[in-house]
Amino acid sequence: MGGAAVNASQESAPSANDRLKDLTSWDADWRGLRVVVTGIGVSGFAAADTLIELGAKVVVVDASTTAKAKAQADTLKIVGAVDVLLGEEAVKLLPLIDGEKPELIVTSPGWRPDQALLAAAKRKHIPVWGDVELAWRVRERAGRKTADWLTITGTNGKTTTVGMTESMLQAAGLKAIAVGNVGTPILDALRDPVEYDAFAVELSSFQLHWSHSLSPVASVCLNVAEDHVDWHGSYASYLADKAKVYENTQKAAIYNADQIETERMVENADVVEGCRAVGFTTNTPGISMLGVVDGLLVDRAFIEERKNSAAELASIADLGPVAPRHMVANALAAAALVRAYRVDPASVKQGLVNYLPGAHRIQLVAKQDDVLWINDSKATNPHAASAALSAFHNVVWIAGGLSKGVNYDDLVKEHAPRLKSVVLIGTDTEALEASLQRHAPDVPVIAQPKGDTESVQTADGNASSPIFGETIMAQAVRAAASVAEPGDTVLMAPAAASMDQFSSYAHRGDAFVQAVRELVEGQAKTTEE
């Protein structure tokens, strides 16, 4: 393939839109299509690898120059004809491909629409797809089974609900896998030798923004709250992208009956004729809903006698020893998705029994001297933190991090009565501190120093990056221990992103778990002595 220039000052004439309309299967003519893939991470690598296999002419661009990025670039060059441009300059202008402008951009979900290269593509009327859109376009392939899609989005609870959905489908004997924003990249699953019956697809607001033609069997938006305003530009734009999950849904558009915004999304969605609106609630369900009656998860939507009765699916006890309200809601949403796919009640129950919650989600780390230590590092926004706080009383709350432009007033007002003390972490705590001063002035706040750093191995393989991580978390855990008393819960639910002090929410959660275990072991050793 010809080299890629870094400047696309030339304008080539006709748009590629007409050709792209015909690219709706793996077997369509992708050969020679000029594509720029932005990002060389997990989704970008999968997109580039797929396009190479399809015969497209591919250029990959990424600002990163880490060892991992260079290794990914070398691998792509080995597997096919592809140019890879790394570094800050590579992502500022559209590259030419064989002397012509690209016909398509396939972007990684984290890239903002106002990023320079993507903004240039918009000005030049070059279509932009995400990896999920590309996956939908190539899902049908001659000689292979086409998997059905069950799609899940929401501000919080996506990963849990996708995992529950996958588990229920598998309990029914179906070949199913969780893909998308969690687990296996969806393009890798499509190319897997296993011919899946169904995908449980987690979709972030970023992925939905770059998706245009998906048509799932069933879809759900679990909930919405202010999040990622910095990426979307406004809360209204964020809601609009979340609402795209319902477009073209075939059988059931599932909404949260306890949150009117999701119901309105369904009302305004352009769905396939005959698609039903199905609600879920943690209260007693109405007709065409799933809900809870006397500790049982029940279905009044997917049974013939729904006017006067309900089908028992499972019990709250099947969710495990700790089942806060938001986990019950997630289970009901997953049940609605698979019931729309004709999974029987027994498999719903078995799927919930089999499901193992992921780490960093209401994770019990230790119980020492009647103090519970809970890791909910996945609570990266106020809505998620609210769900975690609701599950406990007398809370010593470890919180803070990158706020992403959100407001904390409602969160603090709602939960001030249960807060015993707040231990702040993070370098961007001003908004949270201000809300605490306004709405919980009597709650003691312990601020942690923001300047201690130590070098650790980060997710991108760059060992020299300074990360605050373990040192700060150990200090926060010790501060929490100094005020926690029997009957209290120390809850690490930051209500903020992690990347100011950690490489990921998982890194933050692991640091918390390690610090708590070291504290508990130290206390036990002191007691023995």
Task: Say if 2 falls within a structural domain.
Answer: no
Report the share of the chain in percent with pLDDT over 90: 72
Q: What is the pLDDT of residues 472-501, one digit of tens each?
A: 899 999 999 999 999 999 999 999 988 888
What CATH number is attached to the domain comprising 235? Answer: 3.40.1190.10
pLDDT at 225: 84
Looking at the fold, whether 320 and 350 belong to one and the same domain comes out as yes
> Maximum CA pair distance of the chain?
81
Task: Say if 8 falls within a structural domain.
Answer: no
CA angle 8, 38, 104 (to 5 degrees): 60
155 annotated as belonging to a binding site for a ligand: yes
pLDDT at 170: 98
- Compute the distance between CA of residue 78 and CA of residue 208 in angstroms, rounded to an integer: 31
Q: How many domains does the chain have?
A: 3
Looking at the fold, whether 149 and 210 belong to one and the same domain comes out as yes
b/e 447-458 (16+ beta carbons within 10 angstroms → b) = ebebeeeeebeb
Going by the DSSP 8-state scheme, the letter that residue 22 receives in this structure is: T
SS3 453: coil
Domain extent for 150: 145-354
- Compute the distance between CA of residue 479 and CA of residue 398 in angstroms, rounded to an integer: 10
Looking at the fold, whether 178 and 304 belong to one and the same domain comes out as yes
Task: Say if 155 falls within a structural domain.
Answer: yes
> Could you tell me if 338 and 150 are in contact, meaning their C-beta atoms sit under 8 angstroms apart?
yes
Looking at the fold, whether 376 and 522 belong to one and the same domain comes out as yes
381 annotated as belonging to a binding site for a ligand: no
156 annotated as belonging to a binding site for a ligand: yes
Contacts of 485 (CB under 8 A, 6+ apart): 371
154 annotated as belonging to a binding site for a ligand: yes
What CATH number is attached to the domain comprising 58? Answer: 3.40.50.720
Residue 86 φ then ψ, to 5°? -115, 150
pLDDT at 3: 42
Looking at the fold, whether 306 and 337 belong to one and the same domain comes out as yes
Q: Tell me, letter by letter, the H, E, C secondary structure of 332-389.
A: HHHHHHHHHCCCCHHHHHHHHHHCCCCCCCCEEEEEECCEEEEECCCCCCHHHHHHHH
Looking at the fold, whether 450 and 408 belong to one and the same domain comes out as yes
Q: Mark which of 99, 134, 169 sits at the end of a domain.
A: 134
Looking at the fold, whether 462 and 384 belong to one and the same domain comes out as yes
- Compute the distance between CA of residue 212 and CA of residue 503 in angstroms, rounded to an integer: 31
- What pTM does this model have? 0.75
> Over 50: is that where the pLDDT of 13 sits?
no
SS3 301: coil
> Over 90: is that where the pLDDT of 118 sits?
yes
CA atoms within 13 A on the CB side of 101: 20
Q: Mark which of 102, 134, 166 sits at the end of a domain.
A: 134
- Compute the distance between CA of residue 230 and CA of residue 232 in angstroms, rounded to an integer: 6
SS3 304: coil
Looking at the fold, whether 121 and 158 belong to one and the same domain comes out as no
Helix axes 235-243, 260-268, angle to 10 degrees: 60
> Over 50: is that where the pLDDT of 459 sits?
no
| Alpha-carbon distances of 482 from 85, 305, 368, 449, rounded to whole Å | 51, 57, 13, 17
Task: Say if 3 falls within a structural domain.
Answer: no
Nearest CA among 20, 28, 25, 68 for reference residue 44: 68
184 annotated as belonging to a binding site for a ligand: no
| Alpha-carbon distances of 317 from 136, 163, 171, 280, 381, rounded to whole Å | 37, 18, 18, 18, 28
Mean pLDDT of 219-239: 83
If pLDDT is split at 50, 70 and 90, which confidence band does 145 have? very high
Task: Say if 5 falls within a structural domain.
Answer: no
Nearest CA among 392, 435, 396, 390 for reference residue 419: 396
Q: Mark which of 354, 378, 395 sits at the end of a domain.
A: 354
Task: Say if 51 falls within a structural domain.
Answer: yes
Task: Say if 178 falls within a structural domain.
Answer: yes
| Residue in the structure block whose two tokens are 């072991």 | 521
pLDDT at 362: 81
Report the share of the chain in percent with pLDDT over 70: 90
> Over 80: is that where the pLDDT of 358 sits?
no
Q: Tell me, letter by letter, the H, E, C secondary structure of 39-67.
A: CCCHHHHHHHHHHHHHCCEEEEEECCCCH
pLDDT at 526: 56
What CATH number is attached to the domain comprising 443? Answer: 3.90.190.20
Least confident of 188-192, 248-252, 323-327, 495-499: 323-327
Q: Which tokens hold the place of 443?
A: 């709650």
Residue 60 φ then ψ, to 5°? -110, 135
pLDDT at 320: 78
What do you get for the CA distance between the two ends of the chain, in Å? 71
CA torsion sign for 234, 238, 243, 244 is positive
281 annotated as belonging to a binding site for a ligand: no
449 or 502, higher pLDDT: 502
Looking at the fold, whether 205 and 308 belong to one and the same domain comes out as yes
Which amino acid belongs to residue 318?
D
Task: Say if 371 falls within a structural domain.
Answer: yes
Looking at the fold, whether 415 and 335 belong to one and the same domain comes out as no
Which amino acid belongs to residue 141?
R
Looking at the fold, whether 122 and 248 belong to one and the same domain comes out as no
Q: Could you please report the per-residue DSSP string of 65-132?
A: -SHHHHHHHHHHHHHSSEEEEESGGGGTSPPPBTTB--SEEEE-TTS-TTSHHHHHHHHTT--EEEHH
If pLDDT is split at 50, 70 and 90, which confidence band does 466 have? very low
Looking at the fold, whether 181 and 263 belong to one and the same domain comes out as yes
SS3 320: coil
The mean pLDDT of the chain is 89
